Structure 1
Amino acid sequence: MVQAKPTSASRTHLTDMILPGDSNYHGNVFGGHVLALVDKVGSICARKHSGCEVVTASIDSFDFLAPIKLGEAIHIDGFIASTGRTSMEIYIKVMGEDLYTSTRYLTGECYLTFVALDEEGKPTNVPAILPETEEEKWHFERAGERKAYRNERRKAKYHHPEKLEQQQ
């Protein structure tokens, strides 16, 4: 059996500056650029926790709450919120920062699910997570609700009765 790991062992932080190539004609960061960085941070968390290769299985909805402007900093924090047998749910928080005033503001948050892979590319077991802070415990305790919601969403999206009838 794989020994459980503390959340701090895989916590990841990325800071970058929004440059002209990262922004649209409004001077705001491209949403796709933010999502690519979110996926990268999630992947790093998952690899650190599992000790093996990982693939993204899902990204829960991401609401852009505020734009990050050209020349501002983007901060992305991630940690393992919960684990399954072969999967890891990662909580990601994205903050913007005005570098002149040091004012930080929430721009979005989401959960990603990654699956750990063995040397043959097959799903493999991952360690359980040991939440340490109050924030980590809060996310950990609500993992079952999020998993049930994701399962219902997938079921509704991909298993419509009329689609099943058409396939038969």
Structure 2
Amino acid sequence: MEKTTKHPKQSFTVMNELVLPNDTNTLNNLMGGRLLHWMDIAAAISAQKHSNRIVVTASVDNVSFKQAIKLGDVITIEALVTRAFNTSMEVRLDVWAENIPSGTRHKSNEAFYTFVALDENGKTVPIPEIVPETAEEQELYDGALRRRQLRLVLGGKMQAKDANELRAIFYKD
């Protein structure tokens, strides 16, 4: 079950899943691959709503597993498009695990996914820009360019010397 709110500037999706026995490993913890699958779906929904196009996953940044998610927990995945570039967009994901009987809730994961919008022939297409409205949105928006440059450098698609936003962090002129 998912709920998406589309703002003129951003798309925010909340998706819930119940961790069932088929989703767990022998320790009764949610398998990482299953969580990544759910995260990809939630992120794709936000990206598709923002671009009004079919989208494909282009990259997944470091996914941190902070705390185990147990059998029976309810997972809430929050996905927010943080910035749109020409044909790609970054989506921020936060994953929360809730044990309903005990009333406990904790943040278990976070990540950034990148999606590319495609037309009906599978060709990349331009997507609408995002204009951040809050201080938090502005911080995510600004950081998206640095994260993009890092992805491009690590992927061999950009030279480190050309990653001006990244260089500015390390070198003060």
**Is the counterpart of residue 66 in structure 1 residue 51 in structure 2?**
no
Aligned counterpart for 1:5 among listed residues 5, 8, 19: 8
Counterpart in 2 of 1:166? none
Structure 1 residue runs of 4 or more that deviate by more than 3 Å after TM superposition = none
Does the 8 Å contact 1:95/1:107 carry over to 2? yes
Counterpart in 1 of 2:82? 81
Higher relative contact order (CA 8 A, sep 6+): 1
Q: What's the TM-score once normalised by structure 2's chain length? A: 0.83
Q: What's the TM-score once normalised by structure 1's chain length? A: 0.86
Secondary structure, in 3 states, of the residue corresponding to 2:156?
helix
Question: 1:132, CA displacement in angstroms?
Answer: 2.8
Question: In 2, Cα distance between the equivalents of 1:35 and 1:124?
Answer: 26
**Structure 2 spans left out of the alignment, 5+ residues:** 1-6, 158-173
Question: 1:152, CA displacement in angstroms?
Answer: 1.4
Secondary structure, in 3 states, of the residue corresponding to 1:127?
coil
The alignment yields a C-alpha RMSD, in angstroms, of: 1.5
Question: 1:147, CA displacement in angstroms?
Answer: 1.1
Secondary structure, in 3 states, of the residue corresponding to 2:148?
helix
Question: 1:102, CA displacement in angstroms?
Answer: 2.5
Question: In 2, Cα distance between the equivalents of 1:134 and 1:108?
Answer: 22
Counterpart in 1 of 2:101? 100
Aligned length: 151
Q: Percent identity?
A: 38
Moved more, 39-48 or 146-155: 146-155
Counterpart in 2 of 1:152? 153
Question: In 2, Cα distance between the equivalents of 1:82 and 1:101?
Answer: 37
Question: 1:62, CA displacement in angstroms?
Answer: 0.6
Moved more, 20-29 or 94-103: 94-103
**Structure 1 spans left out of the alignment, 5+ residues:** 157-168
Counterpart in 2 of 1:53? 54
